[in-house]
Structure 1
Amino acid sequence: MSIVGYARVSSNSQNLDLQLEQLAASGCEKVFSEKITGTSRNDRQALADCLDWVREGDTLIVTRLDRLARSGRDLHDIIAQLSAKKVGFRCVQQGAVDTTTSMGKLILGILAAVAEFETDIRKERQREGIERAKAAGVYKGRKRTVDVDRVRSLRQQGIGATDIATHLGIARASVYRALRDELVMLA
């Protein structure tokens, strides 16, 4: 049974030292750390390695919940993965979060639900703001990143979609979207 730590900061300019000190003080025998944004799990190799490394009976420790996950869904998925491996989870600064106890599991569930609620509220406010801006004629949406006329011009010159995409530095799917009307007419 090992006590394993995971530390993360969002950018290379930030420092991991405080987290590493707290994890060492908590008895971590092995620590995985990385400097990468926490908005997605996809590129977080140290987290993937950590979750792969822990074994039944181990306990994973982080200093704060937001070091592990940025959304309630992500947190839930990670905790479910740990639970399936029979690995405990504790959080140093939110000491009540400890999945090795019934109360800790309850607290974690409540915190995850509150975090998800806050995210939903933030999305609602953003949506309301966009609707107000549209009604006022201020919001025009995101600027186009594909010059449709240029795509069509290159196509009329007999250049294929892949070459157009390469030439303009865009995805081939974007070329097809720009040509959609023309392709419908050809069919």
Structure 2
Amino acid sequence: MLIGYARTSTLEQEAGLEAQIRDLSALGCEQIFSEQVSSIARREQLEAALTFARKGDTLVVTKLDRLARSVLHMAEIAGRLDAKGVALRVISMGGGEGGLDTSTATGRLMLNVVMSVAQFEREMMLERQREGIAKAKSLGRYTGRKPTAMAQAEKVKALAAKGLSMGQIAAEVGIGKGSVHRILTGKPKALAAVESAAA
């Protein structure tokens, strides 16, 4: 069974999603899962498609970037499909008309090459990042991650005790007004946001 998955971001037009669904239908997809979500948001319809797929099925997408948000995400999806005995077909790889089909030996090789190159690039980037941090540390220029708002709680409370307003404290410490409010009231972010909206 061919199972289609279509996605556009929340910023893209509905027509783009309709075009993907039309292409997937033309290929003979009997079941199509579609959604309009950003690349970083939870993809409930993708999860539904992966859960629905059975051994011998093929998951079909129009382009690879419609399916995965990163190399790691692609590797996770490919692993889940492989474990279930489900093939992956990508209609277009972006540069031309050629696609990819992991039900064939060539398609599996292509996917492995694409993922290996992307993984290599990621490892090289991380290595350069580590080298940069090591060099910065040796020169005394690496300060690490900036402290979070809660790490500055004592300073916030001390300034409040001096009579400074929340706005003045936020400017002095370099954090948001909401963070100052949460530190002084001891209330979680969600509750503070509700009270702020009601005020």
* TM-score bracket for this pair, using the shorter chain length: 0.5 to 0.7
8 Å contact kept, 1:3–1:58: yes
8 Å contact kept, 2:157–2:184: no
Compute the RMSD of aligned alpha carbons: 3.5
Higher relative contact order (CA 8 A, sep 6+): 1
- SS of residue in 2 equivalent to 1:63: strand
Aligned length: 161
1:47-103 Cα distance to aligned partner (Å, 9 max, x none):
110101111221100111121112222212211211221111100003442111111
Q: Aligned partners of 1:165, 1:87: CA distance in 2, in Å?
A: 48
Within-5 A mapping of 1:41-52: 43-52=42-51
8 Å contact kept, 1:72–1:113: no
8 Å contact kept, 2:4–2:61: yes
Deviation at 1:129, TM superposition (A): 7.0
Return the match for 1:166 from 188, 191, 197: 188
Stretch deviating more after TM superposition (106-115 or 77-86): 77-86
Residue 6 of structure 2: aligned partner: 7
Counterpart of 1:37 in structure 2: which amino acid?
S
Residues 4 and 163 of structure 1, relative CA distance in 2, 3 Å threshold: same
Counterpart of 1:98 in structure 2: which amino acid?
D
Residue 150 of structure 1: aligned partner: 156
- SS of residue in 2 equivalent to 1:92: strand
Within-5 A mapping of 1:1-187: 2-14=1-13, 15-39=16-40, 43-94=42-93, 95-123=98-126, 145-146=148-149, 147-148=152-153, 149-150=155-156, 164-166=186-188, 169=192
Listed as ranges, the gaps of 5+ residues in structure 2 are 161-182, 194-199
- SS of residue in 2 equivalent to 1:51: helix
Counterpart of 1:166 in structure 2: which amino acid?
P
Residue 180 of structure 2: aligned partner: none
8 Å contact kept, 2:8–2:38: yes
- SS of residue in 1 equivalent to 2:32: strand
8 Å contact kept, 2:62–2:91: yes
Q: Aligned partners of 1:131, 1:142: CA distance in 2, in Å?
A: 15
Counterpart of 1:33 in structure 2: which amino acid?
S
Counterpart of 2:25 in structure 1: which amino acid?
A
8 Å contact kept, 1:33–1:46: yes
8 Å contact kept, 2:10–2:37: yes
Counterpart of 1:11 in structure 2: which amino acid?
T
Q: Aligned partners of 1:98, 1:92: CA distance in 2, in Å?
A: 8
Q: Aligned partners of 2:127, 2:110: CA distance in 1, in Å?
A: 26
- SS of residue in 1 equivalent to 2:100: coil
